[in-house]
Structure 1
């Protein structure tokens, strides 16, 4: 099973990561590239499908740290350590021909700089260190202002920064600036650490699924048809869910609120993974009972966590008057509603398939049928292979053409996170 690592980095770092992973078939990289470090705060919301989060920079990590802590996301930061500082000083002296004095440097942790200077016996007090990891909040302007003031007062000859955004701004101001380059060793260590942590998490976590199912307007039925009608409809609901529980190895029980409670593990997880795009259980219940139904599923590492998340999912169902099903995972990401019809422009899609992806007429019409059948929900290359009855490699070639033609794009925000069976998903780019 592949470990899926969400990588938050600039494009040039991503290329180096891909080069390292060429011969490793147990890791898949999901790229989330940025031009400004602050973009990491929004990019992290799109990484539902990933097992672990890797940041190739301290600043983007700090921008996303609040969400990382809130959702308890497993995250790894590429080390900005003594080795990185040492190699940067080597480049300054031997490639840039700079003397190792009269400069300012910014790092995440000032102790790394202190350790290197002590080892090299650099004691010149004309070197100024700014440790942005000590700041209560991220303030890029404060870092830039620190270097700018030192330059304008004639205390330094150049700046050594660990932040690309700072390098770009200082160069615009005409201040000589060099950005540290992350050593390949640090990148490889971070990837291996991410892989180890992910495997450990998967081996230790047995996810529990809790489900709450209720008739949406039970009180109204009671007023219009009486208590006997309510008991009959609840009995039918319970009988249908008992069959579902038997099929998915889940426990099913009624509670005092007129709701049905469900608890399960792997069987229910597999069912959600395989059917979350249409979720036939919701359709079957609504058809059999002829009344709107709410279903809330919660995932958790404990029964209490799963139950709390299921209640949150059920509350979300109140947003509309129709039947709804939502899922809240252990990170409290809300996925859904499931099974809502999504429209798309078939004429525009056909033109893109023919002229941009360069598919023939038959493949283009088949792909439109595929999207229509799936209600324009996210899909994987495996879904393509099954629908077209072709090999996975052939499906991946089709995916490659669609991506090259900008017909589809990689998404994660509509994919529920289920450990053990993560998939890279695509959706129409329109």
Structure 2
């Protein structure tokens, strides 16, 4: 069945979206074309047959933000990112005989652009910004007036706007302006994200997983090695991640030059949990690239929750800036890792505790030691034991109770892999002090 993407925008941008999916038989663009962005609320009511909602302008998303949040609709915006801003600024400068030194800008989130301007060392520039992210009225006239007032006061020479209607009104008033153009790559990434979200919706009864992958110290590395970073390191990383996503039936999106996002479901989750001790992806990246990489995985019952937990896992990775590492944060906020690094535990002492304190027989004791070793001494649930031993859940719970009563294991957290039902308790081997209590 095709994934239907509702695209809200002006005809020329919607046509670009159509061109981006040519040849992709599993995708269908359903156009919702407007002349004025305030038409978006009426259009969204007609898009009920669609799987995902794609907004080509941030302002059109702003008009329906409350509806989206209330109905919990899966929505994606084509971002106004660094690349889009810098490309538009370059084009605006080319349109003028003199370089632009004084300008005003309107956009969804001004903080990101301020970071770009700081990196560009714009001390010789005078820049005024209007942020409409929190403008509940979404008043186009108000945004236009912001630019007009600056022009009339002689404070600016040019306007860079992210809204086509504002650009048209400014041109009617003979105020020099440029509307930011959406790069093709931004459209393609947004469509890929729509496709990933639609795929994950089919599995909304169970866990989802997201992953963030980035090169540590990328900017410093790029300054030291120059274009070699782009020409050698990133293409190799891209290839390795493509192979991993093919193997785990996941989706891959490059969100920045130095950042990738993965989306997957049960197959990807099982792959990670089966490789706690030796994570092939991390090993292969380390061998091929020889630069430190962070990989943060997050579990969740929604795409957003999985993404947020993946960001937490990535933050945990970045606490060690010069080493390869990988962490996972589950839907309850519990952290696992570092994944792919063998964790030591005293098998002989554990065996003694299993025999004398938990009262398990030899076979169960050896199997449990193998189980702990295979999971790299990471937290586990009774369900994990049932799957490993190939026994019923009730039988696994009896083993868990023996281990708890013998103080061989302890409760360390919870997981909730399904929307319905109670969370599962997570257990881990108790320390020697905890066993002695």
TM bracket (short chain):
0.3 to 0.5
Q: TM-score, normalised by structure 1?
A: 0.47
The structure with higher relative contact order (CA 8 Å, sep 6+) is: 1
Q: TM-score, normalised by structure 2?
A: 0.46
